[in-house]
Amino acid sequence: MNYLPEGIDTSTLGILKTPKKKAFSFPVPDTSNIQKKPIDLIFPQRIHNMKSHVCTTCYELIKGFDDVVSQKEFLISGMCQKCQDDIFDEEHTQS
Ligand SMILES: [Zn+2]
């Protein structure tokens, strides 16, 4: 059985299904231009933590991220890779 288009095999699909584990190959992005946002009313330490590379929610030192999307998410929420993964996993199991 071979219904898949050329160039896409089951191992490619397997990568899409399994959680990405790239061991923080993307560095913590530049935080020097972080702007204040309404979320700072809820997390007043957000900007200070982000500039110190400390996670907003678990207070672990952030060493890097698994992809560009996680880097961008960090610049909004200040969350480390693990906390982001936990939240996205929850959203998956709820839907
Ligand atoms: Zn965290």
Number of domains composing the chain: 1
Q: How far is the CA of 60 from the centre of ligand 1 (A)?
A: 6
Residue 12 lies in a domain: no
Residues in a beta bridge with 65: 26
Range of the domain at 78: 22-94
List, for residues 6-51, the tens digit of each pLDDT value.
776 656 555 555 555 667 999 999 999 898 989 889 888 899 999 9
Residue 32 lies in a domain: yes
Q: How far is the CA of 74 from the centre of ligand 1 (A)?
A: 10
| pLDDT computed for residue 62 by the predictor | 97
Residue 1 lies in a domain: no
pTM of the model: 0.68
Residue 61 lies in a domain: yes
Percent of the chain with pLDDT strictly greater than 70: 74
Whether residue 84 contacts residue 70, with contact meaning beta carbons closer than 8 Å, is answered with yes
Instruction: State which residues have CB under 5 angstroms from ligand 1, the bound ion.
Output: 55, 58, 80, 83
Residue 78 lies in a domain: yes
List, for residues 45-79, the tens digit of each pLDDT value.
899 999 999 999 999 999 999 999 999 999 988 99
Question: Phi/psi zone of residue 7: left (φ > 0), alpha (ψ -120 to 50 degrees), beta?
Answer: left
In angstroms, rounded to a whole number, what is the distance separating the alpha carbons of residues 56 and 10?
38
In angstroms, rounded to a whole number, what is the distance separating the alpha carbons of residues 63 and 40?
23
